[in-house]
Amino acid sequence: MRLLLYISSFIAITLVSFTGMQQKQRIVFFGDSITQAGVAPNGYITVLGNLIAQKGLKDQYDLVGAGISGNKVTDLYLRLEDDVLAKDPNTVVIWIGVNDVWHKKGGTGTDAPKFEQFYNAIIKKLQAKNIKVVMCTPAAIGEKTDFSNELDGDLNKYANIVRSIATKNNCPLVDLRKAFLAYNLANNAQNQDRGILTSDGVHLNDKGNMLVADEMMKTLVK
C-alpha cells in the first residue's frame, strides 16, 4: 500500500510539471552575429519577447539566444550539441548564411554543396529529437534594390538553397531576404546600401530588428 501511494503521488507531480513544460515552449535562436545581437535591449529576440508579452503569452514562451559572431553553417554544426541540444528546445530557429557567402572574399567561405550538406545534417539531428526547425533566408549584404550589392548574386543563390532545404524538410520558412527586399523597394528610393534596415548593410538597426521580430512572430506564434 505504501509503495503504491508513493508511486501515485510521484505520477501526479510528474504530470503537473510535464504539463508545465508543454505550455512553455523553448525556442533557441541559432545563428551568427546578427542573432548574437538579437538579445540586446533593442535586438530582434528581445523585441519578439515584447510582442509575445503584449499578446499576454509571456508564460508560454522561453526565448534563448544562441548566436556567435562570424559563424557559418559549419560552426553551427560544430556547436549544435553544446549550444542547442543541451538546452532541450522545442523549436530551433536557424538563421545562417551571410558569412558563408561573405567570407569567400577572404578565402574562407562555404561552397554551396557543403552549405547544403551541413545544413541538412543539422536539421537531421534536430528532427531526430522531435525538435521543430524553423529556417530563415540570409537577409542582406548591402541594401541596394537593383541587385548591385557586390554579393547579391551569391546571396540570392544561397537564399534559394535555404528555401529548397526548407521545402524538402517540411520546415517553416521565414523569408527575411524577401521581406528585406520588399521593405527596401518601398522605403529606399535612393538605392542606398545601408541605413534602411541595417547599420552597415548586414547588422540590424532598430527598424531591422522590428521587421525581423514581426516576420518571426507570424511563423512562431499562432
Q: Which residues bind a second copy (CB under 8 A)?
A: 74-75, 77-78, 103-111, 114, 117-118, 121, 142, 146-157, 159-160
Sheet (strand 132-136) strand order: 61-67, 25-31, 91-95, 132-136, 173-174
Q: Least distance in Å: CB of 116 to a second copy? A: 12
Compare residues 41 and 107 and give the one whose CB is closer to a second copy.
107
Q: Are 67 and 32 in contact (CB under 8 A)?
A: yes
C-alpha cell of residue 98: 551571410
Compare residues 65 and 109 and give the one whose CB is closer to a second copy.
109
Compare residues 36 and 74 and give the one whose CB is closer to a second copy.
74
Alpha-carbon separation of residue 120 from 133, 135, 140, 164 (angstroms): 11, 11, 22, 11
Q: Least distance in Å: CB of 8 to a second copy? A: 36
Q: Least distance in Å: CB of 143 to a second copy? A: 12
C-alpha cell of residue 77: 554544426
Cell 508545465, residue? Answer: 20
Compare residues 46 and 149 and give the one whose CB is closer to a second copy.
149
Q: Least distance in Å: CB of 53 to a second copy? A: 37
